[in-house]
């Protein structure tokens, strides 16, 4: 009764008037519900490594708890962690203003850094260019900041990436920034050094903020992907976001960070101080251990990346069995982005295909509508090899049923 009254009286505030539920989480929820009902669902929807957090990190966290790492820290994060991040960045960035710990803010996952960056940099009347397809939350974060997200469609002949010229063509006098993600979720495409140089130069020239989400940077199959910090000569309008979630299999620990000019990290810190305060203390110590023990990190990350690459190779080989299925050749992250437009002509093929695949073949993937490209589906290969291979086999079978 009380609930019924609440739903009659609740009308969402203007802050969330346009907010959509995360489509990626909606798929996992449906897959979980089917599982609970006894179905043997293969979940290729999740954007989360299927590995355990490496042991050296878990042990460091246990030691940190025993040593009393259970209290608040400074909002921006413990200094040793910010120092470790600054040292890591120093290997990449050779521009005019070296990165210091004050240019770094540690947050509750890179997601919070991305949101806080959008919130402090953009507002009403601002437009933000988002190369599309893109991770579903960028559009919502920009909208929550009451700015306008402007999707810029990537070039299908070029891994669905955008060029500087394409960004320029989508700009207006209200453009204030660009949100870039390489390696990309959902496509697995990786921007080359030359491509990043052009985009960084354009942003510099136009005075736009460039938010570069590099959370998948270590998961890249031709050596570490290029960072915008590798090519930038100034950080004046650059926000680089990274974290430990993906490369170190630490999704649940919730540690990410932003590297930005000091005025921006200060503003993000003020925002964070009134919302969530510091990221979880023990998790900060775990992240510190993850980054500081270089030999153990190299060992753990490279063995996970090798496994992702082996799965990628097997997947690509399997896809050759159905040449009518086009996909973006994945060079990083752990996603295969597949075009299923042939399934139906109404532009919503990805949603129809994903529903058919889940209901009839017990495989969960994310419909491309979540990434503003509704003729595609995203298959995550962050799942055991057997599941991935069984899953792709069923994708091919399902496609054959729908497109005889
Ligand atoms: N950025 C991208 C492109 C992602 O795919 C994700 C997670 O799915 C995140 C950021 C969020 O990562 P975190 O767990 O560090 O908040």
Show the domains of the chain with their CATH numbers. Answer: 2-52+297-402 (3.90.1150.10), 71-293 (3.40.640.10)
* R_g over Cα of the chain: 21
Give the number of the atom of ligand 1 that is nearest the alpha carbon of residue 244.
15
Q: How confident is the model over 358-396, as pLDDT tens digits?
A: 999 999 999 999 999 999 999 999 999 999 999 999 999
Q: Examine the pLDDT at 7 and tell me if it is beyond 70.
A: no
Q: Examine the pLDDT at 305 and tell me if it is beyond 90.
A: yes
Distance 223 CA to ligand 1 centre (A): 21
Confirm or reject: Cβ of 135 under 6 Å from ligand 1.
yes
Q: How confident is the model at residue 5 (pLDDT cuts 50, 70, 90)?
A: low
- Per-residue model confidence (pLDDT) at position 9: 87
What are the φ/ψ torsions at residue 98 (nearest 5 degrees)?
Answer: -55, 150
Q: Examine the pLDDT at 4 and tell me if it is beyond 80.
A: no
Distance 399 CA to ligand 1 centre (A): 29
Angle between helices 55-66 and 294-319 (to 10 degrees): 140
What are the φ/ψ torsions at residue 192 (nearest 5 degrees)?
Answer: -80, 165
What are the φ/ψ torsions at residue 349 (nearest 5 degrees)?
Answer: -60, -35
- DSSP code per residue over 252-311: GG-EEEEE--HHHHHHHHHHHHHHT-SPPHHHHHHHHHHHH-HHHHHHHHHHHHHHHHHH
Give the number of the atom of ligand 1 that is nearest the alpha carbon of residue 243.
15
- Per-residue model confidence (pLDDT) at position 186: 98
- Per-residue model confidence (pLDDT) at position 24: 67
Q: How confident is the model over 327-342, as pLDDT tens digits?
A: 999 999 999 999 999 9
Confirm or reject: Cβ of 245 under 6 Å from ligand 1.
yes
- Per-residue model confidence (pLDDT) at position 246: 97
First to last CA, the chain: 51
- Per-residue model confidence (pLDDT) at position 6: 59
Ligand 1 mutation target, pool 118, 135, 189, most atoms within 8 A of CB: 135
Q: Which residues contact 180 (CB under 8 A, 6 or more apart)?
A: 131, 191, 199, 210, 211, 212, 213, 228
Which three-class secondary structure state does DSSP give residue 338? strand
- Per-residue model confidence (pLDDT) at position 87: 95
Q: How confident is the model at residue 399 (pLDDT cuts 50, 70, 90)?
A: very high
- Per-residue model confidence (pLDDT) at position 97: 86
Q: Which residues contact 165 (CB under 8 A, 6 or more apart)?
A: none
Summarize the confidence of residues 42-57 as an average pLDDT. Answer: 95
Q: Which residues contact 356 (CB under 8 A, 6 or more apart)?
A: 398, 401, 402
- Per-residue model confidence (pLDDT) at position 92: 79
- Per-residue model confidence (pLDDT) at position 46: 86
Q: For the whole model, what pTM was predicted?
A: 0.96
Q: Examine the pLDDT at 397 and tell me if it is beyond 90.
A: yes
Q: Examine the pLDDT at 121 and tell me if it is beyond 90.
A: yes
Distance 100 CA to ligand 1 centre (A): 24
Q: How confident is the model at residue 96 (pLDDT cuts 50, 70, 90)?
A: confident
The percentage of the chain sitting over the pLDDT mark of 90, rounded to a whole number, equals 88
Q: How far apart are CA 231 and CA 201, in angstroms?
A: 9
- Per-residue model confidence (pLDDT) at position 172: 98
Distance 118 CA to ligand 1 centre (A): 15
* H/E run at residue 72: none
C-alpha torsion 65→67→68→69, nearest 10: -60
Confirm or reject: Cβ of 214 under 6 Å from ligand 1.
no
C-alpha torsion 166→170→176→179, nearest 10: -50
Q: How confident is the model over 184-230, as pLDDT tens digits?
A: 999 999 999 999 999 999 999 999 999 999 999 999 999 899 999 99
Q: Examine the pLDDT at 15 and tell me if it is beyond 70.
A: yes
Distances in Å between the Cα of 332 and the Cα atoms of 83, 187, 226, 291 are 27, 9, 11, 20
- Per-residue model confidence (pLDDT) at position 202: 98
* H/E run at residue 363: strand 363-364
Of all protein residues, the one whose alpha carbon is nearest to atom 9 of ligand 1 is 111
């Amino acid at each position: 009764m009380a609930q019924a009254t609440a739903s009659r009286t609740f009308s969402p505030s203007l802050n969330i008037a346009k907010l959509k539920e995360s489509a990626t989480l909606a798929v996992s929820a449906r897959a979980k519900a089917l599982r609970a009902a006894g179905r043997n669902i293969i979940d290729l929807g999740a954007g989360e490594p299927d590995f355990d957090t490496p042991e050296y990190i878990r042990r460091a966290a246990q030691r940190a708890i025993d040593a009393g790492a259970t209290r608040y820290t400074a909002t921006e994060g413990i200094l040793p962690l910010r120092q470790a991040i600054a040292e890591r960045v120093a290997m990449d960035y050779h521009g005019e203003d070296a990165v210091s710990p004050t240019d770094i803010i540690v947050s509750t996952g890179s997601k919070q850094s991305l949101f806080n960056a959008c919130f402090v940099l953009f507002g009403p009347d601002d437009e933000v260019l988002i190369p599309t397809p893109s991770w579903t939350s960028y559009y919502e974060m920009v909208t929550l900041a009451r700015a306008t997200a402007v999707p810029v469609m990537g070039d299908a002949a070029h891994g669905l990436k955008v060029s500087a010229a394409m960004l320029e063509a989508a700009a207006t006098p209200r453009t204030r920034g660009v949100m870039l993600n390489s390696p990309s979720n959902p496509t697995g495409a990786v921007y080359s050094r030359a491509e990043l140089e052009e985009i960084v130069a354009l942003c510099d020239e136009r005075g736009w903020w460039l938010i570069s989400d590099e959370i998948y940077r270590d998961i890249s199959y031709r050596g570490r992907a290029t960072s915008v910090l590798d090519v930038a000569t100034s950080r004046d309008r650059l926000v680089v976001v990274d974290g430990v979630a993906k490369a170190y299999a630490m999704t649940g620990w919730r540690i990410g960070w932003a590297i930005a000019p000091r005025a921006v990290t200060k503003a993000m810190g003020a925002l964070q101080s009134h919302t969530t305060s510091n990221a979880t203390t023990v998790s900060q110590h775990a992240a510190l251990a993850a980054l500081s023990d270089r030999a153990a990190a190299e060992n753990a990350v490279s063995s996970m990346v090798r496994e992702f690459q082996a799965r990628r190779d097997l997947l690509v080989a399997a896809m050759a069995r159905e040449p009518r299925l086009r996909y973006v050749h994945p060079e990083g992250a752990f996603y295969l982005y597949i075009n299923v437009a042939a399934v139906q002509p109404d532009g919503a093929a990805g949603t129809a295909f994903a529903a058919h695949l889940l209901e009839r073949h017990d495989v969960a993937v994310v419909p491309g509508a979540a990434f503003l490209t509704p003729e595609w589906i995203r298959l995550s290969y962050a799942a055991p090899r057997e599941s991935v291979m069984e899953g792709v086999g069923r994708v091919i079978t399902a496609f054959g049923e729908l497109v005889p």
